[in-house]
Amino acid sequence: MKIELRYAAHPADVKDYDTDRIRREFLVSSVFVQDEISLVYSLYDRYIVGGAMPVEKTLKLEPVDELKATEFLDRREMGLINVGGDAEITAGGVVYHLGHKEALYLGRGTANVSFKSNDNSNPAKLYINSAPAHHTYPPKKVTLADAEIVEMGTHETSNHRIINKLLVNSIVKTCQLQMGMTELKQGSVWNTMPVHTHNRRMEAYFYFEVPAKQAVCHFMGEPDETRHIWMTNEQAVLSPSWSVHSAAGTSSYTFIWGMAGENLDYGDMDIRHPDTLK
């Protein structure tokens, strides 16, 4: 199990970053590493992003020195969404079976967490988000059938998409963590348009189902000082509260959004329309 620390950055400083520095600070290029739990601890709302990919081994969620805790989830909550083969997750003595595109919430204080693939020829890929928690809420598995589903955008504006709200407060009680999955319709490439910021919380995006030889151009930065990061399949990106977070792909794709911060109001956004961006 490995974890990398990322510091927060002031938007005035980010204006002077070159491509390499932007990628080093915000891109999570290797989410899934075979038979490892690989995490990034961001000082944006102390959010943790990463993945677990058990193939030949059962992977145990160990405490890390950065958390100064006996168990990883002593003071944290966690959300997982499986983007691979069927998984078996043991948490607090209970076994959960997680299929493709199914989610699991684990509350503060959950101990003895481990991850296993049912078939090592089609291993599970468990995308992980975690945030500090002040209260313990019960674990809950959420399938696409349980999700709150919203259809947004249009074919004419190239952003026709289905938003699957999985680990949100209308579905499961959490302290601050929220996660969901957006699936773009064929022929649509823009997500999260018009763009927005929300100083009340930060966000992270994970892009997957990006075809071979294709890419996603993720846009970030202040609305009047935007930057971009080219991303490929199964990569994640951190989005500070002051930054926009949107993308256009060279094909259709799917992405998972996760966020934490001051409130749980999904609609709390400061919108910036396309013709005002710079």
Tell me how far the alpha carbon of residue 45 is from its chain's centroid.
14
Residue 264's pLDDT is 84
> pLDDT per residue over 51-99, tens digit each?
999 999 999 999 999 999 999 999 999 999 999 999 999 999 999 999 9
pLDDT tens for 21-60 read 999 999 999 999 999 999 999 999 999 999 999 999 999 9
Domain count, the chain: 1
Q: In this model, does residue 193 exceed pLDDT 90? A: no
pLDDT at 270: 86
Q: Which domain holds residue 27?
A: 2-276
Contact 95, 71 (CB under 8 A): no
pLDDT on residue 29? 97
Helix, strand, or coil here: 176? coil
**Res 271: pLDDT:** 87
| 8 A C-beta contact, residue 240 and residue 9 | yes
| Cα–Cα distance measured from residue 22 to residue 248, given in angstroms and rounded to the nearest whole number | 18
Pick 266 or 158 by higher pLDDT. Answer: 158
User: pLDDT per residue over 201-260, tens digit each?
Assistant: 999 999 999 999 999 999 999 999 999 999 999 999 999 999 999 999 999 999 999 999
Tens digit of each residue's pLDDT (9 = 90 or more) over 130-168 = 999 999 999 999 999 999 999 999 989 889 999 999 999
Cβ-contact 215, 268 below 8 angstroms: no
Rounded Cα distance between 195 and 269, Å, is: 9
Q: 80-104: string of b/e by CB count within 10 Å (b at 16+)?
A: bbbbbbbbbbbbeeeebebeebbbb
pLDDT of residue 265: 81
Question: 246 near 191, Cβ under 8 Å?
Answer: yes
Q: Which two tokens stand for residue 24?
A: 């080093």
Q: State the pLDDT at residue 269.
A: 82
Q: Computed from CA positions of residues 86, 213, 234, 205, in that sequence, does the dihedral angle turn out positive or negative?
A: negative
Q: What is the DSSP letter of 99?
A: -
Residue 172's pLDDT is what? 97
Q: Would you state the pLDDT for residue 277?
A: 92
CATH number of the domain bearing residue 26: 2.60.120.10
